[in-house]
């Protein structure tokens, strides 16, 4: 007799060794054990087991019962008479059978279950008009049908419609998914939300459609790796050459996808997040785009001159003298102009991080210019100072215009600004560089809203407990540096 090992049988059935082991432990495969506890399989028995049709136990019992009564009526009668002296204890059926009209059979039985004293508001077809067969169906399928009924709302996301519906809506404004994330403590600012939303809808979804992906289960790590390669590659779209995306940017993009999978994982909709196994693209030094910055002597006296565009002047004045972020400047309200011991500050009351909530020193020169603009435009306490009435956000073109006008005073044209990568945001870099050059250390922790990266500093350096004296001392140093290098 030919015997097969577990590896042989796994190869025969085109399954893994783990699958064979599971079928052995659950009794789904016939096997034999050797004296040294090795598991072997008889080839003949396995072949017969595979070929043998699965028997319907109910029909088999009925057929055998009929055959025995026909061939051995006396013996069967004896068993019946003897058995009549005994009765099994009554077992509650916990189900009802109802007749429903059926064209083929005349009628079929439908089963409705009782569970915990309540009638389940659903019924299931037994596919038979035989009362005994219907009862067997009801008993044999009770646990499976009730389990499916109770878990019907927790089915995995599989359909094409659900996949693309979730991806399209996830980062949409006021989406239900982001509301759930917010309750869990994950807060996304609107600028980031728009960026994520555009990437998913304009890059990720078109790629999935091209790959004929129809469910989240099909989005695995190899697919995401191919997506990375797709983003890296140069392309020609509608006759236009488009350069590939840099590795650092792609790594950010993958994080947007990963957040969606994290959400679905927490909701029990999927089993794994394929982004976690994805290898992060290495960022080469030449791929890192470093924001450029003016030399510290370049801005001296620039803000004492007459500019063509007052709005551009004020934007540049604020970023180059406070080191604030673009998004923070856009949110400044008139009421955010505050004073501590006769020194002016700009309050930043809301931020996506704890460190972002702070007060920024506002030089008297800048304060006066802002007050003139506020009065000229009749702005009230709750009004945003840098507000474009035609737009929700200022937009990159407004910042570019301000950056170009500043370039005229520093001797930089557009080509030179691009070459040295000097943008409007460079004002924040200039401010930090200027403070460092004058030995004003740890300025990020006080006025720039940076996250404190060192664990010890984060837990033990309580900025809010250092006192007003320390704050004012550093503020006066900031002003003296600005007086020396920016204002005449």
Architecture of domain 302-485: Orthogonal Bundle (1.10)
C-beta of residue 24 within 8 angstroms of C-beta of residue 38: no
Question: Looking at the whole model, is its pTM more than 0.75?
Answer: no
- The domain ranges of the chain are 3-51, 160-287, 302-485
Please state which architecture CATH assigns to domain 3-51.
Orthogonal Bundle (1.10)
Q: Where are the alpha helices (DSSP H) in 387-448?
A: 396-410, 414-419, 426-437, 443
pLDDT at 190 (0 to 100): 80
Report CA-CA distances (Å) from 108 to 100, 124, 140, 221, 232.
5, 11, 17, 49, 61
The CATH fold of domain 160-287: DNA polymerase; domain 1 (1.10.150)
Instruction: Note whether 429 and 293 are within 8 A (CB).
Output: yes
Each of the 488 residues of the chain gets a pLDDT tens digit; together they read 578 888 888 888 888 888 888 888 777 888 888 877 788 888 888 888 777 655 555 676 777 788 888 998 998 888 888 877 776 665 567 888 999 988 888 899 999 998 877 788 888 899 999 999 999 899 888 888 888 777 765 544 444 558 888 999 999 988 888 888 888 877 777 878 888 999 999 999 999 998 988 888 889 999 999 999 999 998 887 778 888 888 888 998 899 899 999 988 888 888 889 999 898 888 765 555 677 888 878 888 889 989 999 999 999 999 999 988 888 888 899 999 988 888 998 888 766 555 667 788 899 999 999 999 999 989 988 889 988 777 777 888 889 999 999 998 889 988 888 888 899 989 888 888 888 887 776 655 567 766 554 444 444 344 444 456 777 888 888 888 888 888 87
Which residues have a Cβ under 8 Å from the Cβ of 165 and sit 6 or more positions away?
none
Residue 263, token pair as written in the block: 């959400």
pLDDT at 157: 44
Q: What angle do CA 327, 328, 332 make, to 5 degrees?
A: 120
Using only the alpha carbons of the chain, give its radius of gyration: 37
pLDDT at 273 (0 to 100):
92
Predicted local distance difference test score (pLDDT) of residue 227: 93
């Amino acid at each position: 007799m030919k015997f097969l090992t577990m590896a042989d049988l796994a190869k025969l059935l085109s399954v893994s060794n783990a699958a064979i082991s599971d079928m052995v432990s659950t009794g789904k495969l016939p096997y034999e054990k050797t004296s040294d506890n090795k598991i072997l399989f008889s080839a003949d028995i396995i072949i017969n087991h595979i070929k043998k049709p699965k028997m319907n136990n109910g029909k088999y019992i009925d057929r055998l019962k009929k055959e025995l009564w026909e061939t051995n009526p006396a013996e069967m009668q004896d068993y019946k008479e003897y058995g009549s002296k005994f009765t099994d204890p009554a077992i509650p059926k916990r189900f009802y059978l109802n007749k429903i009209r059926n064209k083929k059979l005349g009628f079929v039985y439908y089963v409705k279950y009782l569970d915990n004293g309540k009638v389940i508001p659903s019924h299931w077809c037994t596919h038979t008009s035989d009362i005994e067969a219907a009862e067997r169906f009801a008993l044999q399928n009770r646990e499976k049908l009730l389990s499916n009924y109770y878990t019907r709302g927790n089915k995995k996301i599989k359909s094409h419609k659900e996949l693309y519906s979730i991806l399209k809506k996830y980062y949409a404004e006021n989406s239900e998914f982001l509301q759930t994330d917010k309750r869990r403590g994950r807060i996304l600012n609107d600028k980031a939300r728009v960026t994520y939303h555009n990437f998913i809808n304009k890059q990720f979804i078109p790629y999935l459609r091209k790959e004929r992906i129809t469910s989240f289960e099909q989005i695995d790590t190899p697919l995401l790796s191919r997506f990375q390669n797709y983003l890296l590659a140069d392309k020609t779209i509608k006759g236009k050459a488009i350069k590939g995306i840099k590795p650092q940017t792609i790594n950010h993009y993958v994080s947007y996808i990963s957040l969606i999978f994290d959400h679905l994982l927490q909701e029990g909709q999927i089993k794994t997040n394929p982004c976690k196994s994805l290898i992060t693209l290495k960022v080469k030094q030449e791929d890192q785009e470093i924001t450029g910055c003016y030399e510290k002597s370049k801005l001296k006296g620039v803000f004492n001159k007459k500019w063509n565009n007052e709005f551009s002047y004020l934007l540049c004045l604020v970023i180059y003298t406070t080191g604030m972020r673009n998004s923070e400047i856009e949110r400044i309200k008139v009421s955010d102009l505050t004073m501590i011991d006769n020194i002016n500050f700009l309050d930043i009351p809301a931020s996506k991080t704890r460190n972002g909530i702070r007060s920024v020193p506002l030089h008297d020169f800048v304060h006066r210019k802002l007050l003139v603009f506020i009065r000229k435009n009749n702005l009230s306490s709750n009004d945003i100072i840098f507000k474009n009435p035609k737009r929700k956000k200022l937009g990159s073109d407004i910042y570019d215009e301000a950056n170009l006008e500043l370039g005229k005073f520093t001797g930089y044209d557009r080509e030179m600004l691009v070459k040295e990568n000097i943008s409007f945001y460079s004002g924040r870099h200039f401010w930090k560089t200027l403070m460092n050059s004058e030995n004003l250390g740890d300025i990020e922790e006080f006025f720039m809203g940076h996250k404190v990266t060192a664990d010890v500093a984060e837990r033990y350096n309580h900025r809010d407990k250092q006192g007003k004296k320390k704050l004012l001392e550093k503020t006066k140093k900031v002003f003296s540096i600005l007086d020396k290098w920016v204002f005449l």
